[in-house]
Amino acid sequence: MHTNPRHASRRQALAALGAMALGMCAPLRVWAQVTWNRAAFEARSALEVLRALGAQSASESRDILIDAPQIAENGALVPIDITSQLAGTRTITVMAEKNPFPLAARFEFRDGALPYARVNLKLSESTLVRVVVEAGTRVYQHSREIKVTAGGCGN
């Protein structure tokens, strides 16, 4: 069977493009592995997460804004917007305290990036959502209770 040279050339170009794309993703994988706090993400309680992050003595701050529904009709998808108004914000960490693994997300901000994050949490029951922010040399926190309904009725 004869191979059309045009098809062979196209296959070679696609293979080269795929290899190049994989090569571009490799540095991101390495960076993520270096900055990932395994102990925090594997923790089974909010206190364990705070210990793993070194944030047990976080101060309460109203400069952390949490925009989330008070009652979530569908716990499978609960949108939450977080904004830090604290100068020098370096990280925003989001925890859902009653989830099996409370640490839901952790964001790092560099070079004056806007300290804002939007996450969609999966909540199986009503819980306290706690946000921890590292700003400057201090750690702050703020939390909000979110009720999850079952079949249109509150728990």
Q: In the prediction, which pLDDT does 31 show?
A: 45
- Which tens digits make up the pLDDT trace of 118-144? 999 999 899 999 999 999 999 999 999
Bigger pLDDT: 65 or 12?
A: 65
User: Of all residues in the chain, what percent carry a pLDDT higher than 90?
Assistant: 54
If you ran DSSP here, which 8-state letter would residue 73 be given?
S
| Domain residue limits, the chain | 38-154
Residues making up the chain, counted from first to last:
155
Q: In the prediction, which pLDDT does 92 show?
A: 96
Q: In the prediction, which pLDDT does 1 show?
A: 53
User: Of all residues in the chain, what percent carry a pLDDT higher than 70?
Assistant: 73
Return d(Cα 146, Cα 116) in angstroms, integer.
20
Return d(Cα 84, Cα 77) in angstroms, integer.
23
Question: Is pLDDT above 90 for 28?
Answer: no
The pTM of this model reads 0.73
Burial class (CB in 10 A: 0-12, 13-18, 19+), 131: buried
CATH 2.60.40.2470 fits 38-154, yes or no: yes
- Which tens digits make up the pLDDT trace of 63-115? 999 999 999 988 999 999 999 999 999 999 999 999 999 999 999 998 888 99
Q: What is the β-pairing status of strands 116-121 and 103-108?
A: unpaired
Q: In the prediction, which pLDDT does 90 show?
A: 94
Q: In the prediction, which pLDDT does 40 show?
A: 83
**Mean pLDDT score of the chain:** 82
Question: Is pLDDT above 70 for 5?
Answer: no
Q: In the prediction, which pLDDT does 112 show?
A: 80
Question: Which amino acid is residue 136, in one-letter code?
Answer: G
Q: In the prediction, which pLDDT does 32 show?
A: 45
If you ran DSSP here, which 8-state letter would residue 36 be given?
-
